[in-house]
Amino acid sequence: MSKKPLLPLAFTSTFKSTDKPLTILAGDAGGTKTNMALYRLGEKGLEVLREGQYASQEYKSLTEIIVQFTGNEWPDRICVAVAGPVTNGKVKLTNLSWQLDAKAMSTALKTPVAFINDLEANSYGLAGLQSTELATIHASEQAATGNIAIIAPGTGLGEAGLYFDGDRYHPFATEGGHSDFAPRTEQDIELFRFLQQQHGHVSWERVLSGPAIHTLFTFLTTVQRRSIPAWLADQLQDAHDASPIISNAALHQQEPLCLEVMHLFVRYFAMEAASLCLKLKATGGCYLSGGIPPKILPLLQTGEWHQHFLDMGRMRPLLEQIPVYVVLNSKTPLLGAAYYGAYMEY
C-alpha cells in the first residue's frame, strides 16, 4: 500500500515515518458479519498480516471478537468501522444490539481504540484501492473534480461524502439512508403505504438494502398479487435469507417475478444515488459500494440504472458529468479503518 493513493486524502499531510513498525487492528462491524484484520505500518506503508471473519449475531460484544482474533498478538492501535452514527466515540449499532464506547474500551483493553462510521471508513478506504477494483458504470467526458458521493446498500443503507478542498479529500459520514423514501409513481405510493403500515416512518433503507429485496418481493406477491412459481416457493420456504435467492433467480434464471423485484431495486438505487449527488454536488464521482452492488453488477451495467440516475429533470446536465463506479473490493471499509487507525491522532 505504499503506492500513490487512488484519491489524495486530507490526512496524508500528517503521514509520519515510524522508528519501528506499528500494528493496527482494523475492524468492520456490521449487523451480519464483522471482519477483522491486523495491519503493520512500516517504511513500505500498510501491510495486512492476517484476517478473520465472524458472525456478529453470535457474539455478545465486539470485545469478545477482538480478544478471540488477536490472541497473543496484541496491536498498538485499534480502529473499527461500525454501522451506525458515532458521536463522541460512542455508538449503538443500527442493526445490532452492541453499544460501544471508545474511551471505555481503550481503558479496558489498555490500547487506544477509535470507532468510525462504516461509510466514512469506506471513504477512507477508496484511497487504498487500485483502479482494477472499480467497475465503471459511466465515464465522464470531462475531468472529474469536486466532491464525491458514496452510497452503499448492504444489511442497511449507508451514505457518505468526501469534500474536496481543491487539493485533497475530506471524508465525512451521513445517515442519509434513514431519510424519507420519496415515491414517484402510483406503484411507489402503494409500496409506501404498505411499508408505512408496518413501520410508520419509511426510509430509503426500507427499499434499498439486503432485507429490502425480500420486502419488495413480498409487496409484489401480496399487495399486487404476483404469482410465485412453484420451484421458487420451494426454495424460499425454508430459506434463512430470501433476498439472495430472489436476486440470484433474477440474474441466473431470469425469473420474471424476481426480475421485476430487481428492476424496482435498481430504480430506487439510481434515484437515491442521484439525490445524494445533487445534495453534495458530487461532480468528483459517485461510488456504489457495500455488499450488494458487486453481486448485481450485470444489472447495473445494462444502462437502466444510469438512465434512472439521470431522470432528475433540470439537473440532468449536471448528473451527466458525474462518473459512476462500482467498488468491487468488499473489504474497502476494513482498509479505510486501517488507514484511519494508522494516521489518526489519539
pLDDT at 17 over 60: no
Better-scored residue on pLDDT, 60 or 7: 60
As assigned by CATH, the class of the 133-328 domain is alpha beta
Scanning the structure block, which residue is given the C-alpha cell 429490502?
Answer: 212
Helix axes 102-109 and 62-70, enclosed angle (nearest 10): 40
Mean pLDDT of the chain: 91
Q: For residues 125 and 46, is the Cβ–Cβ distance under 8 A?
A: no
pLDDT at 12 over 50: no
Q: Please report, rounded to a whole number, the percentage of residues in the chain having pLDDT higher than 90.
A: 78
Query: 10-126+331-343 has which CATH code?
Result: 3.30.420.40
pLDDT level of residue 21 (50, 70, 90 thresholds): confident
pLDDT level of residue 226 (50, 70, 90 thresholds): very high
Fold match flag (10-126+331-343 vs 133-328): no
Q: For residues 36 and 54, is the Cβ–Cβ distance under 8 A?
A: yes
Burial class (CB in 10 A: 0-12, 13-18, 19+), 55: exposed
**Cβ neighbours for 131, distance < 8 A, ≥ 6 positions apart:** 6
pLDDT at 13 over 50: no
pLDDT level of residue 342 (50, 70, 90 thresholds): confident
Q: What is the pLDDT of residue 20?
A: 74
pLDDT per position as a tens digit, 153-199 = 998 999 999 999 999 999 999 999 999 999 999 999 999 999 999 99
pTM (two decimals): 0.91
Q: What is the pLDDT of residue 287?
A: 97
pLDDT per position as a tens digit, 73-126 = 899 999 999 988 899 999 988 778 889 999 999 999 999 999 999 999 999 999
Q: What is the pLDDT of residue 268?
A: 98
Better-scored residue on pLDDT, 73 or 14: 73
Q: What is the pLDDT of residue 19?
A: 61
Length of the chain: 346
pLDDT at 46 over 70: yes
Average pLDDT of span 233-259: 94
pLDDT at 15 over 50: no
Question: How far, in Å, CA of 299 to CA of 249, rounded?
Answer: 12
Question: Long-range contacts for 236-239 (Cβ within 8 Å, ≥24 apart)?
Answer: none
pLDDT at 313 over 50: yes
Domain locations along the chain: 10-126+331-343, 133-328
